[in-house]
C-alpha cells in the first residue's frame, strides 16, 4: 500500500473488473478517460479494483484499446470491425463509462450504417420486429410516399 | 447470437443521438418500428410539406418543429389555416421560429394573422413572391413581435403605410428585404430607419426611392449589408450621406444604378476602409483616378464585382497589390482586360476562388496559365466567349487547380477533346458549361465522364459532334447529374436517350431540336428519371402522342414541359 502511494500517479495501475469477472490492469491516466471511473476514484481514494457491472470483458477490452490508440486514422478503421450488436453494446458501455469521444464515434458509425437504407434493412440490422400493425404501416407508407426516393440498394 | 435484440437495451437518448447523425433524410426510418417513429417525430426540427392533405396529420405528430415550409404546398389558404389551428392540439406552433410561405398566394391577411399570432416564438418569415400582398398582410406580419428576419420581395401591394406598421411592430428586425415593392417611397424608408435600429441587412433593390432615403439609412448604426440594385433615382448625393454613416458597413451593392458615378462610390469607400464586398455591376462606365486611389485602402475586400466597366492594366495592378484578401473578382464584359492585367491581379491575389472573365476576349493561354499557377484554391472560373483559350492553357488548369468546381467555357471555340482530357483532372467539378464548343466530340466527353464523377450540371448546347457513345459514357460515369442540356445535339438517337434514362437524379433535361429521337426514348426517360421536373422538347418532330402519354403516366414530379 505504502509502496503504491509513493509511486508517481501516472504510472499507478488500477484494476477494472468486468461483469463476467475478467480483470484488466490499466494505467491511471487511461482509466481516467472513463468519467464514471474517475468519479469512483474521486470518491474512494485508495481503491484498487473497480467493478464495472454493466460491461462484458470482451467489450471492456475493446474500450480500453480504443482509449489507448484513439486518433483520426484509428477511429476511421475502428468501427468497420464490429457487427451491429457489438456496436450497440459498445455504445452502451461507452455511455455507462461516460467516454464522450467513443460515444461520438459509435453514434456516427451506427448512423452511417442506417443512412439511406430501407426500413426492412434497418430492422434486419438491428434485429427488431416491425410492431406497426398492417393498417398503420399502410397508412404511414401512403403518407410518406416520397420517403422512398434516394434509398440505397440493400 | 443474442436471442433478443440488443436494440431493446438502447436508451431513448442514445437513439436520438444516433438519428441526429443520420445525414440523409430520415423519413423512411419512421417505418422501422414504433420506437423509431416516436423518436423521429419528437426530434424533427424542420419540415417541408408537399401535399396539403397530409398537413394536419403531420403537424400533429411533429410537435417540436422549429421551421415550417409551406411554399410548395398547393392550395394553402385562409380556410386551411383556420382548420389547422382549430383542430385538436396545436402544440406544433409553440416552437416554430421560421415560416416559409414564399409564393403561397392563396393565403390572405386573415389566415396569415391567425398563423402568426399562433406562433409566439416566430423570428423569421418569408413571404416573397406573394405578389398580391399589400398593407393588410403587412399589418398581419407586424404582429410578430420577435421578428428578426423578413423577406417581402415582390409583395407588390405593400406601401409606406404597411412598411410603417412593420417598423413599429417589429422593432427587433435585423434583416429586411423589400426588392420590387414598388409602392414604397422615401417616407417609408425614413420611418423604418427611425424605428428598426437593429437592422443589419437591408435590400431596397428596384425601389423608387431617392437620395433622401440614403440620408435616413445612414443613421442605421448596425447596418452591415446594404443592397440597392437598380435604384435609378439615387445619385452621388445619396452615396455621400453614407460616407459618414453606417459605421459597420461591410457590403454594398449599387449595381445598375444609372445615376451613380465613381465619385459617389468613392464617398462610400472613403468612409469604410473595412469594406469587404463591393458590387458595382453595369453602373459605371469607367473608374476615375481618385476612385482607383481609394481602392488602395481597402485591404479587407473579399469580393469585387465591376462587370461592364472599362478597366486597365494599371487598375488591375492596384487591385493585385492592395486587395490581398480578394476571394472573388467579377470582370464580366469589362473593356480593357488584357493578359498583363490579369497576370498582375492574380499574382497579388493568390486566394482567389472565383474569377469571372466572361466576354474578356483578349485573354489567351498565357493568362490562364498564370491564373492556374497563382490561384491553387480556384473554385469557379468563367471564360464564356474567351475564344483564344486552348488546350495549352487548360493543361495548366487541370494540373494546378484541383479544387475547381465550376467552369464555364461556353462559346470557347478553342476547346477540343484534348482540352477536355486536361480539364477532366479536376475531379471536384460540379458544374461544366460547354455550350457552343463545336470542336468537342464523344472522345472528349468520355474523359470528363471518367474522372468528373461529382458533376451535377452539364451544358452541351449545340455541341453537334456529341453522339450516343459519349452519352453512354456520361450515364455510367456521372450518375449525380441533375441538369443536362443536349439541345441541337442532332446526332443523338433513342439509344443515347435510353442511356440518359439511367441518370436517376436528373431533374432538368433540354432536348430541343433533336430530329432522331422518338417516343421510345422519351418513354424510357419518363419511367426511369423519377425526379424529372423540367423537360424541353421543342422542335423534336418525331415525338408523337405515345411519348406524351408516357410522360403523363410516369413522370410524377414534372412541373414544366
Q: Which residues contact B282 (CB under 8 A, 6 or more apart)?
A: B255, B256, B307, B308
Contact status, residue B473 vs residue B497, Cβ threshold 8 Å: no
B48 sits in which H/E element: strand B46-48
Q: Which residues contact A151 (CB under 8 A, 6 or more apart)?
A: A116, A117, A118, B28
Residues of A in contact with B37 (CB under 8 A): 132, 140
- Quick one: cell of B511? 432536348
Q: Which one of B2, B23, B28 has the shortest CB-CB distance to A118?
A: B28
Interface check B53 vs A, CB under 8 A: no
Interface check B557 vs A, CB under 8 A: no
**What pLDDT, in 10s, does the model give residues A22-71?**
999 998 888 888 888 888 888 887 777 888 888 899 999 999 999 888 88
- Which is it for strands B534-536 and B508-510: parallel, antiparallel or unpaired? parallel
Cross-chain Cβ contact B33/A137 below 8 Å: no
Whole-number pLDDT of residue B80: 84
- Quick one: cell of B74? 398547393
User: How far, in Å, CA of A124 to CA of A130, rounded?
Assistant: 10
pTM value is 0.81
Whole-number pLDDT of residue B145: 95
Residues of B in contact with A123 (CB under 8 A): 32-33
What is the CB neighbour count within 10 angstroms for residue A76? 11
Contact status, residue B41 vs residue B57, Cβ threshold 8 Å: no
Residue B551's Cβ-count burial label (10 Å; 0-12, 13-18, 19+) is buried
Residues of A with CB under 8 A from a CB of B: 84-85, 88-89, 91-92, 95, 103, 107-108, 110-112, 114-119, 122-123, 126-132, 137, 140-141, 143-144, 146-151
Q: Which one of A91, A115, A132 has the shortest CB-CB distance to B22?
A: A115
User: How far, in Å, CA of B275 to CA of B297, rounded?
Assistant: 10
DSSP code of residue B87: S
Residues of A in contact with B50 (CB under 8 A): 146
Nearest CA to B464 among B516, B426, B504, B422? B516
Q: How close, in Å, is residue B51 to chain A by CA atoms?
A: 9
User: Helix or strand or coil: residue A70?
Assistant: coil
Contact status, residue B218 vs residue B242, Cβ threshold 8 Å: yes
Nearest CA to B296 among B267, B263, B320? B320
Cross-chain Cβ contact B32/A122 below 8 Å: yes
- Give the mutation candidate from A134, A144, A152, A154 for the B interface (greatest B CB count, under 10 A): A144
Residues of B in contact with A126 (CB under 8 A): 5-7, 32
Q: What is the ipTM of this complex?
A: 0.82
B442 sits in which H/E element: helix B442-451
Cross-chain Cβ contact B58/A146 below 8 Å: no
Contact status, residue B323 vs residue B302, Cβ threshold 8 Å: no
Residues of A in contact with B34 (CB under 8 A): 131-132
Q: Give the Cα-Cα-Cα angle A44, A49, A55 (nearest 5 degrees).
A: 110
Count interface pairs A-B at CB distance under 8 A: 99
pLDDT in tens, chain B (561 residues): 345 677 777 888 888 888 888 877 777 787 888 888 888 888 888 888 777 777 777 888 788 888 888 887 767 888 888 888 887 667 788 889 999 999 888 888 999 999 999 999 999 999 999 999 999 999 999 999 999 999 999 999 999 999 999 999 999 999 999 999 999 999 999 999 999 999 999 999 999 999 999 999 999 999 999 999 999 999 999 999 999 999 999 999 999 999 999 999 999 999 999 999 999 999 999 999 899 889 889 999 999 999 999 999 999 999 999 999 999 999 999 999 999 999 999 999 999 999 999 999 999 999 999 999 999 999 999 999 999 999 999 999 999 999 999 999 999 999 999 999 999 999 999 999 999 999 999 999 999 999 999 999 999 999 999 999 999 999 999 989 999 999 999 899 999 999 999 998 898 999 998 888 888 888 888 888 877 888 888 888 777 777 777 777 776 666 667
Cross-chain Cβ contact A147/B24 below 8 Å: no
Q: How close, in Å, is residue B529 to chain A by CA atoms?
A: 11
- Quick one: cell of B540? 423534336
Burial B361-394 (b: 16+ CB within 10 A, else e): ebbbbebbbbbbbbbeebbbbbbbbbbbbbbbbb
User: Helix or strand or coil: residue B291?
Assistant: helix
User: How far, in Å, CA of B6 to CA of A125, rounded?
Assistant: 11
CA atoms within 13 A on the CB side of B480: 11
Cross-chain Cβ contact A127/B5 below 8 Å: yes
Window B:499-538, CB contacts with A under 8 Å: 530-531
Amino acid at each position: 500500500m505504502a509502496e503504491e502511494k509513493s509511486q508517481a500517479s501516472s504510472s499507478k495501475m488500477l484494476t477494472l473488473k468486468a461483469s463476467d469477472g475478467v480483470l484488466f490492469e490499466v494505467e491511471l491516466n487511461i482509466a481516467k478517460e472513463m468519467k464514471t471511473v474517475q468519479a469512483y476514484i474521486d470518491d474512494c481514494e485508495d481503491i484498487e479494483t473497480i467493478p464495472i457491472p454493466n460491461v462484458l470483458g470482451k467489450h471492456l477490452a475493446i474500450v480500453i484499446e480504443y482509449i489507448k490508440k484513439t486518433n483520426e486514422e484509428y477511429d476511421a478503421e475502428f468501427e468497420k470491425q464490429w457487427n451491429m450488436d457489438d456496436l450497440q453494446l459498445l455504445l452502451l458501455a461507452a455511455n455507462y463509462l461516460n467516454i464522450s469521444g467513443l460515444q461520438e464515434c459509435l453514434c456516427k458509425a451506427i448512423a452511417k450504417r442506417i443512412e439511406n437504407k430501407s426500413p426492412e434493412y434497418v430492422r434486419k440490422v438491428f434485429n427488431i420486429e416491425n410492431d406497426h400493425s398492417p393498417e398503420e404501416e399502410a397508412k404511414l407508407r401512403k403518407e410518406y410516399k416520397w420517403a422512398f426516393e434516394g434509398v440505397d440498394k440493400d | 447470437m443474442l436471442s433478443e435484440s440488443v436494440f431493446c437495451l438502447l436508451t431513448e437518448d442514445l437513439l436520438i443521438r444516433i438519428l441526429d447523425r443520420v445525414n440523409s433524410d430520415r423519413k423512411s426510418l419512421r417505418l422501422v418500428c414504433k420506437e423509431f417513429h416516436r423518436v423521429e417525430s419528437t426530434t424533427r426540427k424542420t419540415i417541408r410539406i408537399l401535399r396539403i392533405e397530409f398537413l394536419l396529420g403531420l403537424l400533429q405528430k411533429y410537435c417540436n418543429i422549429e421551421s415550417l415550409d409551406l411554399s410548395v404546398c398547393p392550395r394553402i389558404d385562409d380556410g386551411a389555416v383556420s382548420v389547422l389551428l382549430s383542430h385538436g392540439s396545436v402544440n406544433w406552433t409553440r416552437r416554430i421560429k421560421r415560416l416559409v410561405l414564399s409564393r403561397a398566394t392563396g393565403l390572405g391577411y386573415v389566415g396569415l394573422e391567425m398563423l402568426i399570432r399562433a406562433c409566439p416564438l416566430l423570428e423569421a418569415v418569408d413571404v416573397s413572391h406573394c405578389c398580391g400582398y399589400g398593407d393588410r398582410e403587412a399589418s398581419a406580419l407586424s404582429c410578430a413581435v420577435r421578428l428578426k428576419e423578413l423577406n417581402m420581395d415582390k409583395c407588390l401591394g405593400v406601401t409606406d403605410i404597411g412598411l410603417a406598421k412593420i417598423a413599429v411592430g417589429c422593432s427587433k428586425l435585423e434583416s429586411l428585404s423589400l426588392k420590387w415593392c414598388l409602392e414604397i417611397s422615401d417616407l417609408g424608408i425614413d420611418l423604418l430607419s427611425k424605428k428598426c435600429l437593429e437592422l443589419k441587412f437591408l435590400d431596397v433593390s428596384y425601389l423608387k426611392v431617392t437620395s433622401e432615403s440614403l440620408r435616413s439609412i445612414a443613421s442605421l448604426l448596425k447596418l452591415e449589408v446594404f443592397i440597392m440594385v437598380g435604384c435609378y433615382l439615387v445619385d452621388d448625393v445619396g452615396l455621400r450621406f453614407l460616407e459618414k454613416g453606417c459605421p459597420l458597413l461591410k457590403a454594398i451593392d449599387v449595381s445598375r444604378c444609372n445615376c451613380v458615378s465613381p465619385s459617389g462610390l468613392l464617398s462610400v469607400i472613403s468612409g469604410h476602409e473595412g469594406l469587404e464586398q463591393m458590387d458595382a455591376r453595369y453602373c459605371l462606365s469607367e473608374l476615375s483616378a481618385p476612385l482607383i486611389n481609394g481602392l488602395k485602402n481597402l485591404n479587407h475586400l473579399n469580393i469585387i464585382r465591376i462587370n461592364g466597366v472599362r478597366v486597365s492594366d494599371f487598375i488591375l495592378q492596384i487591385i493585385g497589390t492592395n486587395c490581398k484578401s480578394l476571394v472573388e473578382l467579377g470582370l464580366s464584359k469589362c473593356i480593357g482586360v488584357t493578359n498583363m492585367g490579369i497576370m498582375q491581379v492574380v499574382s497579388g491575389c493568390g486566394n482567389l476562388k472565383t474569377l469571372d472573365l466572361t466576354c474578356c476576349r483578349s485573354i489567351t493561354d498565357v493568362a490562364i496559365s498564370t491564373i492556374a499557377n497563382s490561384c491553387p484554391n480556384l473554385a469557379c472560373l468563367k471564360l464564356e466567349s474567351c475564344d483564344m483559350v486552348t488546350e495549352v492553357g487548360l493543361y495548366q488548369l487541370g494540373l494546378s487547380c484541383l479544387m475547381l468546381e465550376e467552369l464555364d467555357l461556353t462559346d470557347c471555340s478553342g476547346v477540343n477533346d484534348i482540352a477536355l482530357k486536361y480539364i477532366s483532372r479536376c475531379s471536384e467539378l460540379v458544374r461544366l458549361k460547354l455550350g457552343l464548343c463545336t470542336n468537342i466530340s464523344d472522345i472528349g466527353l468520355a474523359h470528363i465522364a471518367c474522372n468528373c464523377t461529382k458533376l451535377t450540371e452539364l451544358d452541351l448546347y449545340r455541341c453537334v459532334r456529341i453522339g450516343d457513345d459519349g452519352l453512354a459514357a456520361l450515364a455510367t460515369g456521372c450518375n449525380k447529374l441533375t441538369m443536362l442540356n443536349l439541345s441541337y445535339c442532332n446526332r443523338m438517337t433513342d439509344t443515347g436517350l435510353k442511356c440518359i434514362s439511367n441518370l436517376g437524379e436528373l431533374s432538368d433535361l433540354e432536348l430541343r431540336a433533336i430530329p432522331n429521337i422518338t417516343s421510345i426514348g422519351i418513354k424510357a426517360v419518363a419511367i426511369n428519371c423519377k425526379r424529372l421536373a423540367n423537360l424541353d422538347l421543342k422542335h423534336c418532330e418525331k415525338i408523337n402522342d405515345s411519348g406524351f402519354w408516357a410522360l403523363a403516366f410516369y413522370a410524377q414530379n414534372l412541373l414544366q414541359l
